[in-house]
C-alpha cells in the first residue's frame, strides 16, 4: 500500500513530459543568454524555421519520419523488456538491403519494387537484430551490450562493403551507385503536383505515409493481438509468461526482429526516398535519438508521433537557427537537442514524485470537501 494516488493519464502522459520539455527549454535559454543572444529571438527563429513556411514543414516532417521509425523500433523491444540500443546498426544494415534490392532487382516494375524494397529492408534489419536477440534469449548475453557491439560491427561492415564492393569503379567516394529513377519513393511535392496542388519542394516523401501506417500497425499489434499480449507479458513479468505457457525466449526474438524491421524502415526514407544511394553513416544518430523519442512518447505510437515531431522540429528549426544567427553554431543546436533528450528522456521521472505528491494532496483535499 502506498501513500499516493495514481496519477490520471493526462498528467502522466501530458503534463509531465511538457513540464520536462519546458525545463529543457528554460535551461537552453540560459545557455543562449550566456553566449549573449536573446532567447526569445532564438525561440522565434527555431519555431519559424520548423513551421513558418511550406518548405520548412516538409523538412520537419522528413526528419519526423526517421524518428517515428526508430522510436517505434525502440518501443516494441521495450514492451518486451528489452533495451534495444541497436536501431542505428539495424537501420544501417536495412539500408544495405534496400540498396542491394534496388541495384540488383531493378528490372521489377515500380509498385512491386516498393514492396520488395520494403521487404529487403525489413529482412536485413530483422536479421541484424536476430543475432543479439538469439544471444539474449538462448545464451543470456545482455541485449544492451550486444546491440551496442552490433552497431560497431555494422558500421565497420558497411565501410568495408562501400569501399570495396559497392563503390562503382572509378568513383572516389565511398557510396553505392545511384538507384534507378523508377525505384525511388515519390516526393510528396511531386505527388501533390500530379494532383494539381502546388507545393514547395522538400525531401518529404511517401515514407512519411509508411510511418503513419507503421504507427497504427504497431498500436494494433501491441495492444490488440495475441503476440503483442505475449510480448507485453514477457516484458512485464517473464516468470508469469512461463507460467502462462508463453516462452520468453521465443518472444524476445520476435520482438527484436520486429524492432529491427521497424528501424530498417528509416532506410526507406533516407535511401529510397532522399539520398537514392547508400552512403557512409546515413543513419546519422537517428537510431539513438529514437530511444529518447520512445521514452518521451511513453512507448505509445501516438506519444512517439508527438515526440518525433518535436525532434523533427528541433532538427529543422535548429538548422535554420545556426544559419540565421552565426554565433549559434551547429554545436549549439546539438546542445539544445541534448538538453531536451536529457530532461525528457534521461530525467523523465525527475518531477514525478513531487507532482504525485501535489496531486495526492489536492485529491485528498477535494475528497474531504466532497465528504462534507
Partner 1 sequence: MHQMHGTGETGAVQPAIELRGIDKRFGAVHANKEIDLKVDKGTIHGIVGENGAGKSTLMSILYGFYQADAGTIHVDGKLCDIKGSEDAIAAGIGMVHQHFMLVETFSVLENVILGVEGGAVLRDGVDRAREELHRLEREYSLDIDPDAIVGDLSVGLQQRVEILKALFRGAEILILDEPTGVLTPQEADHLFRILETLKEQGKTVVLITHKLREIMAATDNVSVMRQGAMVAHRKTADTSPEELSELMVGRKVLLRLEKEQAQPKDTVLKVENLCVENAQGVRKVKNASFDIRAGEIVGIAGVSGNGQSELLEALGGIRAASEGVVELNGQDVTPGKGVDAAELRRRGVAHVPEDRHRMAMVTAFSAKEAAILGYEDDPAYQKGVFLDWHAISDATAKMMSEFDVRPDNPDLKAANFSGGNQQKLVLAREIMRDPELLLVGQPTRGVDIGAIEFIHKRIVAMRDAGKAVLLVSVELDEIMSLADRILVMCDGAIIGEVAASDANERVLGLMMAGVDPSEAKAVEGQS
CA–CA gap between residue 37 and residue 225 (Å, rounded):
52
Between 60 and 356, CB nearer to partner 1: 356
The yes or no reply on residue 42 touching partner 1 (CB under 8 A) is no
Spatial neighbors of 47 by CB under 8 A, at least 6 apart, are 313, 317
CA–CA gap between residue 251 and residue 225 (Å, rounded):
13
The yes or no reply on residue 360 touching partner 1 (CB under 8 A) is yes
Task: Write the binding mask 236 to 275 for partner 1: x where contact by CB under 8 A, - elsewhere.
Answer: xx-xx-xxxxxx----------------------------
Among 1, 34, 172, 195, binds partner 1 (CB under 8 A): 1
Among 220, 346, 347, 361, binds partner 1 (CB under 8 A): 220
Q: Are 202 and 189 in contact (CB under 8 A)?
A: yes
CA–CA gap between residue 2 and residue 222 (Å, rounded):
30
- What part of residues 6-35 is at the interface with partner 1 (CB under 8 A)? 6
Among 233, 259, 264, 269, binds partner 1 (CB under 8 A): 233
How many binding residues for partner 1 (CB under 8 A)? 28
Between 164 and 369, CB nearer to partner 1: 369
The yes or no reply on residue 3 touching partner 1 (CB under 8 A) is yes
Q: Tell me the three state secondary structure of residue 279.
A: strand
Binding region for partner 1 (CB under 8 A) out of 167-175, 219-227, 280-288, 295-303: 219-227
- Closest to 199 measured CA to CA, from 58, 337, 362, 352: 58
Secondary structure (DSSP) of 198-216:
-----S-BTHHHHHHHHHH
Spatial neighbors of 149 by CB under 8 A, at least 6 apart, are none
Between 93 and 241, CB nearer to partner 1: 241
Radius of gyration for the chain, computed over Cα atoms and rounded to the nearest angstrom: 22
**Can you give the binding site for partner 1, defined by CB under 8 A?**
1-6, 220, 224-226, 229-230, 232-233, 236-237, 239-240, 242-247, 360, 363-364, 367
Amino acid at each position: 500500500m502506498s501513500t499516493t494516488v495514481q496519477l490520471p493519464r493526462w498528467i502522466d502522459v501530458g503534463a509531465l513530459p511538457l513540464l520536462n520539455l519546458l525545463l529543457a527549454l528554460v535551461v537552453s535559454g540560459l545557455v543562449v543568454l550566456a553566449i549573449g543572444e536573446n532567447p526569445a529571438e532564438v525561440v522565434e527563429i527555431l519555431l519559424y524555421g520548423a513551421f513558418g513556411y511550406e518548405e520548412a514543414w516538409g523538412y520537419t516532417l522528413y526528419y519526423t519520419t526517421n524518428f517515428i521509425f526508430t522510436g517505434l523500433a525502440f518501443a516494441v523491444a521495450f514492451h518486451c523488456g528489452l533495451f534495444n540500443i541497436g536501431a542505428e546498426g539495424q537501420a544501417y544494415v536495412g539500408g544495405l538491403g534496400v540498396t542491394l534490392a534496388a541495384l540488383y532487382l531493378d528490372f521489377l516494375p515500380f509498385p512491386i519494387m516498393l514492396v520488395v524494397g520494403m521487404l529487403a529492408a525489413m529482412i536485413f534489419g530483422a536479421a541484424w537484430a536476430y543475432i543479439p536477440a538469439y544471444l539474449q534469449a538462448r545464451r543470456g548475453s545482455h541485449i544492451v551490450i550486444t546491440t551496442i557491439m552490433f552497431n560497431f560491427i555494422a558500421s565497420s561492415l558497411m565501410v568495408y562493403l562501400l569501399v570495396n564492393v559497392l563503390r562503382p569503379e572509378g568513383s572516389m567516394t565511398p557510396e553505392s551507385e545511384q538507384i534507378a529513377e523508377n525505384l525511388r519513393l515519390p516526393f510528396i511535392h511531386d505527388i501533390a503536383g500530379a494532383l494539381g496542388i502546388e507545393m514547395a519542394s522538400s525531401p518529404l516523401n511517401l515514407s512519411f505515409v509508411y510511418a503513419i501506417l507503421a504507427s497504427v500497425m504497431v498500436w494494433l499489434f501491441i495492444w490488440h493481438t495475441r503476440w503483442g499480449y505475449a510480448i507485453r507479458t514477457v516484458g512485464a513479468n517473464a516468470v508469469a509468461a512461463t507460467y502462462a505457457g508463453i516462452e520468453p525466449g521465443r518472444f524476445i526474438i520476435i520482438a527484436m526482429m520486429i524492432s529491427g524491421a521497424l528501424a530498417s524502415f528509416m532506410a526507406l526514407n533516407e535511401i529510397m526516398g532522399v539520398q537514392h544511394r547508400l552512403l557512409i553513416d546515413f543513419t546519422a544518430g537517428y537510431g539513438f535519438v529514437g530511444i529518447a523519442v520512445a521514452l518521451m512518447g511513453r512507448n505509445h505510437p501516438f506519444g512517439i508521433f508527438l515526440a518525433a515531431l518535436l525532434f523533427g522540429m528541433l532538427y529543422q528549426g535548429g538548422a535554420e537557427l545556426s544559419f540565421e544567427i552565426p554565433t549559434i553554431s551547429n554545436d549549439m543546436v546539438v546542445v539544445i537537442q541534448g538538453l531536451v533528450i536529457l530532461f525528457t528522456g534521461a530525467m523523465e521521472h525527475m518531477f514525478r514524485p513531487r507532482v504525485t505528491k501535489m496531486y495526492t494532496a489536492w485529491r485528498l483535499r477535494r475528497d474531504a470537501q466532497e465528504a462534507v
